[in-house]
Amino acid sequence: MHYQPMNDLLKHRLILVTGAGDGIGREAALTYARHGARLILLGRTEHKLQDVQAEILRETGTHSLIVPCDLLTITEQACTTLATDLEKQIPHLDGVLHNAGLLGDIAPIAGQDPATWHQVMQVNVNATFMLTQALLPLLLKAASPSLVFTSSSVGRVGRAEWGAYAVSKFATEGLMQVLADEYRNQHLRVNCINPGGTRTAMRASAFPDEDPQRLKTPAEIMPLYLYLMGDDSKRKTGMSFDAQPGRKPGPAV
């Protein structure tokens, strides 16, 4: 995407990123902070979140909040508590990037391990739903809030052996569309990003034989992440965007 954001695009914005400790989520958190936002870093591995927090402080002088949380075991009650705790610290949320995700088994449906299937659905769909529900009141208090979900090309057209992951991303697209329709006449916009093949640990485990050098880095796909969080996308809702338009799904060749 060719998008030139203003340096202060996200000045004073409060943005929560899930899976902020690694991969695309880490880069998104750093990028949002560099454009003026204050970050709420949610993720599973506390030391990774602390590293991102330290990096943001070093680069921007801004102190981020850390929310260690395992989406695999999170409950509805825990989501409510998390939101209540946040309400004591911040007046509203200008944006939420649901980025954390689990890949699960790359195997035909006949061979998908049911326990892993449930884990993928829990992290990618159920936790995302419960967290969204809990955070909606904080989002709706903002002037121009943006809710962004992370999808995939296999969440639009099914592909053999992508199993639970593909089905969870179809569900993510569905959640985004339903929510966008529900808030169509209000100030909350809701959209999906399909990052496209990106150089991360998840990508390497999905395509172990692929040359990572042939993939875009998380930093290279950030223009869309900025566009959807900032006011330039104010009138966009219910849409699914490609961070790498024109890229053919599947391994880089």
Catalytic residues: 165
Question: Cβ-count burial of 140 within 10 angstroms (0-12 exposed, 13-18 middle, 19+ buried)?
Answer: middle
Of the candidate residues 17, 100, 135, 224, the single one contacting ligand NDP (CB under 6 A): 100
Nearer to ligand NDP, 185 or 209 (CB): 209
CB of 25 to ligand NDP, least distance (A): 5
> Rounded distance, CA 109 to CA 94, Å?
39
Mark residue 75 as left, alpha or beta (left: phi above 0; alpha: psi -120 to 50; beta: remaining): beta
- DSSP 8-state symbol, 198: B
Of the candidate residues 38, 44, 94, 96, the single one contacting ligand NDP (CB under 6 A): 44
Establish if 145 lies at the interface with ligand NDP (CB under 6 A): no
CB of 65 to ligand NDP, least distance (A): 16
Which runs of consecutive H residues, i.e. helices, occur in the chain?
23-34, 46-60, 76-87, 114-121, 127-140, 163-182, 201-206, 222-229
Of the candidate residues 202, 212, 223, 238, the single one contacting ligand NDP (CB under 6 A): 202
Q: Under the rule (CB under 6 A), what is the footprint of ligand NDP?
A: 19, 21-25, 43-45, 48, 70-72, 99-102, 123, 150, 152, 195, 197-198, 200-203
